[in-house]
A and B are shown apart, each in its own frame.
Chain A
Amino acid sequence: MSVVASVIFGSLALGASVVPPIVVLVLCIVAGVGTVMLLPGRKERSIRKIGGALLLVVFLVFVALLVRQEAMKGATQVYFWLFSGIAVMSAMRVISHEKPVYSALYFVLTVVATAGLFVLLWAEFVAAALILIYAGAILVTYVFVIMLAQQVERVGKVTVGAEYDRHSREPVLASAVGFVMMGLILFLIFDGSAATNLAGVKANVGVQGTTKQVGEYVFIRQTVSLEVAALVLTVAMIGAVIIARRQVPETRAVDPGRVAVQDDDPHNVPVYGTENPRAKAYPER
């Protein structure tokens, strides 16, 4: 993936007008093979290391080229390459990392790099909201659920992740689908005969997404959408609470002739992570 990105970005940087579609096709196939090598699966680790090293070397060469090219240019363009490189590399790690916690953390790295790009695009409020919501709220929820619902297995003395984390599902087919789609999109972007000429589009300097402007726009123009968003959030919150609530089954019928003794020994209370997950519901009363 970074191969494709680097070559395309590189040819953009060198002033190439149109990337030939056949080159894009070949690069997508090569990057797909590299991703297959990198994915966790029933392969030797050396193959994965080779795949990772291949992508890393290409990325380093690309960064070196860029630094040489950008040395005398404006600073904001360097920031674009920096942020987009971080975003693409960490998105690759989201795909290839075995442990879901690290996948979530790399995803947040992608989001932070995206926020940097939004600042470059004069969307300050969106950037701040992105960091607050993703890195602050969604990441915590993800890590919380991953910690609650994590399985480890022991192979000998080594503790490894769950089987479904260590083995990918349909690596070849998934990479093929992904990179065919990428080739299609890139072909449309670089197609010179497309209806819209992307090269002629200039930045609209009037657009500045400061909090004041975004607030005025939302509360004056998009009031109905704002109300609907609030409704959606409320419904989602109630739904999440209802779905995640454990249904405590009605346990043994109470013998009427016997006074029920409340077992308040703390060692008898079922706990998360013990061997019987069905019995871990706390007593309701």
Chain B
Amino acid sequence: MVMGVMEIGLAHYLVLGAVLLVCGLVTILTKRNAIGILIGVELVLNAANINLVAFNRYSHGVSEGGGVALAGQVFAIFVIVLAAAEAAVALSIFLNFYNNFTSVDVEKAKELRG
């Protein structure tokens, strides 16, 4: 397994995706601000997007219909769509939470009821 000397390969993008994933994970675990936790979730999704697009670039062959294989990029676009939807719903929940508790500290979220 000899890397090309200066060639940027798939492994570089995978390492970057892993680093950003762990950044997002640590953000989720350490932030007490609910909005900070949501930013961490978005970082994790972003890392997944890097992996998807990189795999799309470095995957072999064409798709079965004969066209260009773009499944990875289209998957990344759908991930972006879901991230936007999730951000809208979660932020409105946080607004409601702030209206009730005067705080967005997740430690105070123990009193939520269905």
User: Distance (Å) between the CB of B113 and the closest chain A CB?
Assistant: 14
> What range describes how many residues of A lie at the interface?
35 or more
Q: Are A214 and B77 within 8 A (Cβ)?
A: yes
Would you give the shortest CB distance from A222 to chain B, in whole angstroms? Answer: 6
Main secondary structure of the interface of A (DSSP, over half): helix
Interface size on B, residues (CB 8 A): 86
Q: Which of A49-68 contact B (CB under 8 A)?
A: none
CB pair A13–B6 under 8 Å, yes or no, is yes
Known: A17-B1, A145-B35. A213 touches B85 (CB 8 A): no
- A220 vs chain B, min Cβ distance (A): 8
Name, among B69, B73, B85, B92, the residue most crowded by chain A CB atoms within 10 Å (CB to CB): B73
- B18 near A186 with CB under 8 A, answer yes
Which of A's residues lie within 8 Å of B, judged by CB?
1, 4-5, 8-9, 12-13, 15-18, 35, 39, 69-70, 73, 76-77, 80, 84, 87-88, 91-92, 94-95, 100, 103-104, 107, 110-111, 114, 117-118, 120-123, 125-126, 129-130, 133-134, 137-138, 141-142, 145-146, 148-149, 151, 162-165, 167-171, 173-175, 177-179, 181-182, 185-186, 189-190, 192, 197-199, 201-204, 206-209, 213-214, 216-218, 221-222, 225, 229, 232-233, 235-237, 239-241, 243-244, 246, 277-278
